[in-house]
């Protein structure tokens, strides 16, 4: 049984200030919440990726608020000390800051400690409104799954100079609006490193190299539990055959030490 102290926003910030890498994994149920918490995972992301991983959807777009609330409640019941971040699903915050507030309240009441919104620019007023009302927010830049059709599929972002400039500006705007961390997905390692160095808050990378303040993977991907070909940046931590708990502990250790990820491996 874990004896570590509860992860708080203050501890999250202290880890970043001390240069300690943050280990995050997606989580959708009470059993895995307990397993991940006991294995030392710092943060559990109740991602709308559950639409693809658990529900068999092609994208995250069909995921509803009711589904996110349900899975957040499940994770909260299994968790003891880890920080819980819940995705705001597509359509739950695009309309207005007021709509975002109503839906973020539901996720916080379900047990989330922080909510995550995708995109930059137009999301700044949303982030500011939530933070002003005591709801911690995580931003998300680079490849944003809720914009999959607009972006032309699962493609690396930030290859062009203008796109990089926009991304760096948006990251600064989100941090200035009060976002306490940002997920950086599918971008060149050098770009993610530059964005990270720009910011006073931690970044969590996925397919974005080792220069971020921490890493996140889809739990099922890092355990090799996929029906198709996993993204190239994913490592199967269960491949050594020592069991799920050992695989998760190895993931945490490799993130903390910098052994994962590989800066040279990107894309799907």
DSSP H or E segment with residue 114: strand 114-116
Residues contacting residue 260 through CB under 8 Å, at least 6 positions apart: 210, 215, 235, 251, 254
Q: How far apart are CA 262 and CA 268, in angstroms?
A: 14
Torsion of CA 70, 129, 118, 176, to 10 degrees: -140
Q: How far apart are CA 137 and CA 174, in angstroms?
A: 9
User: Helix (H, G, I), strand (E, B), or coil: what is residue 5?
Assistant: coil
Of 160, 173, 185, 242, which is the active-site residue?
185
To the query of whether residue 95 is one of the catalytic residues in this protein, the response is no
Contact call for residues 53 and 10 (beta carbons, < 8 A): no
Residue where the block lists tokens 């926009």 = 166
Q: How far apart are CA 85 and CA 83, in angstroms?
A: 7
Determine phi and psi for 41, rounding to 5 degrees.
-65, 130
- Residues with catalytic function: 185
């Amino acid at each position: 049984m874990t004896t570590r102290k509860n992860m708080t926003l203050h501890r999250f910030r202290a880890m970043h200030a001390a240069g300690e890498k943050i280990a995050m994994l997606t989580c959708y149920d009470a059993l895995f919440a307990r397993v991940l918490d006991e294995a030392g995972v710092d943060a559990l992301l109740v991602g709308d990726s559950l639409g693809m991983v658990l529900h068999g959807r092609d994208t995250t777009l069909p995921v509803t608020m009711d589904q996110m609330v349900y899975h957040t409640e499940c994770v909260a019941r299994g968790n003891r000390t880890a920080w819980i971040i819940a995705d705001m699903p597509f359509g739950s915050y695009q309309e207005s800051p007021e709509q975002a507030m109503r839906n973020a309240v539901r996720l916080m009441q379900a047990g989330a400690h922080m909510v995550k919104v995708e995109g930059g620019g137009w999301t700044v007023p949303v982030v500011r409104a939530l933070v002003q009302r005591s709801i911690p927010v995580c931003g998300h830049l680079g490849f944003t799954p809720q914009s999959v059709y607009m972006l032309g599929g699962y493609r690396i972002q930030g290859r062009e100079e203008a796109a990089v400039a926009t991304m760096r500006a948006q990251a600064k705007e989100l941090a200035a609006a009060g976002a306490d961390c940002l997920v950086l997905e599918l971008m060149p390692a050098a770009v993610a490193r530059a964005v990270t160095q720009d910011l006073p808050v931690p970044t969590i990378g996925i397919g974005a190299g080792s220069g971020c303040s921490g890493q996140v993977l889809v739990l099922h991907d890092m355990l090799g539990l996929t029906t198709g070909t996993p993204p190239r940046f994913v490592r199967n931590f269960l491949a050594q055959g020592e069991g799920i708990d050992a695989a998760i502990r190895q993931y945490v250790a490799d993130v903390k030490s910098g052994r994962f990820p590989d800066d040279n491996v990107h894309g799907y």
